[in-house]
Amino acid sequence: MLYNEACGEKLSRLGFGCMRLPQTLEKTIDEIELQRMVDYAIAQGVNYFDTAWPYHGGLSEIAIGKALAKYPRETWFLADKYPGHQIASSYNPAEIFEQQLKKCGVDHFDFYLLHNIYENSIGVYMDPQWGILDYFVEQKRLGRIKHLGFSCHARPDTLEKFLDYAGDKMEFCQIQLNYLDWTLQDAQAKYELLTRRGIPIWVMEPLRGGRLAVLSDADTARLRTLRPDESTASWALRWLQNLPNVRMVLSGMSAFDQVSDNVRTFSGGEPQTEAEAALLAEIADGLKNALPCTRCRYCCDGCPMELDIPLLIHTYNDLKFAGSMLVAMQLDVLPEDKQPSACIGCGACAAICPQNIDIPAAMSDLADRLSKIPSWAETCRQREEAARKLREQAQAGT
């Protein structure tokens, strides 16, 4: 197993993500299979496990705590997260933190993150009435948290705003990073910003929810011509190994063969060459099907609604690739009159666009796509209701 020194600890470069644990036919966590996966991962040198309050309706913390309990506490690192992005549920930091320790069966967390800082949650994390940052800084002082950091799905300017506020208290940052999002979600800019600030990077979604593990037959054949013994997933993971400030790569593994394949990738092998990285960049361009916006902002000057058109097109490109709530929530913070639905279709933007993009058509399609995705707040409410039912079922079965 390859290791990195980060935050004064020796960490396996491969981290075991607990958002997509194996499930039974009844859609509950398959604890027997999970134990087999954890046993193998630990035997192969994996020592970092990452969970969070909302994963699997609140049951991920319990399941991974049970799976790790058979091993000496000092032999593994456990990370958990505070759900400040779901503050609508009135989560008290102390109450949640105490529950998390109990659910995981530990007296401290090795790594703890402020979860999902983005445009619509940064205000909550920075609002003194909640006292979130102060509380967790104090828990670190008390030794109940060894290393404090945060996860972020925000745009680079929002990330920088949070770093200005609390960067001196953050030891690491977890971002979505892969060879597709290097350009599609401005991950390169986030990587460079965090590197300049001296903050080590933890990677989430290295396979884009599994999308980069299953390419077209043609693209897969191109990769296998160069590395016939490596899986498509290993290409994405090995690409990250060439970024020196990436200290941890989290993979949400839901099957034993995924664990064994990932362990093989992080146990050695030749580094990816420049030519191989260039091939992945070419494949990424083919996956995007993106509008060729260069962010020149000429379109903004004549927009009667004063829309941030480059931002909206950026989100549109991302949403076309994978229509998910995580993409849609980037626009939650925008007022109603700055949403794509506010576009009046006057065409002033298209007339001046150097790339000849039909911007009104894109805004109309974006508004339609967004209307079919549940709002972030509603999704949080649905998750909480599902979590409540799962907890009640679990308690009834004990």
Rounding to the nearest 10 degrees, give the CA dihedral for residues 329, 332, 334, 338.
80
Q: What are the 10-residue block averages of pLDDT along the chain, 398 residues in total?
A: 96 96 91 98 98 92 98 98 72 90 98 92 89 96 98 93 97 96 91 98 92 90 95 96 97 95 94 94 85 81 90 84 67 84 92 85 90 65 61 60
**8 A C-beta contact, residue 284 and residue 215:** no
Task: Write out the two tokens for 352.
Answer: 């001046």
pLDDT of residue 89: 46
Q: How far is CA 345 from CA 190, 261, 340, in A?
A: 33, 50, 10
Round to whole Å and give the CA distance between 4 and 13.
6
State residue 377's pLDDT score. 55
User: 193 and 167 in contact (C-beta within 8 Å)?
Assistant: no
Whether pTM exceeds 0.85: no
Q: How far apart are CA 5 and CA 366, in angstroms?
A: 43
pLDDT of residue 185: 83
Q: Tokens representing 140? A: 């670190």
Question: For the stretch 290-300, what's the b/e string if a residue is b when 16 or more beta carbons lie within 10 angstroms of its beta carbon?
Answer: bbebeeeebbb
- pLDDT on residue 126: 93
CA-based max dimension of the chain: 66
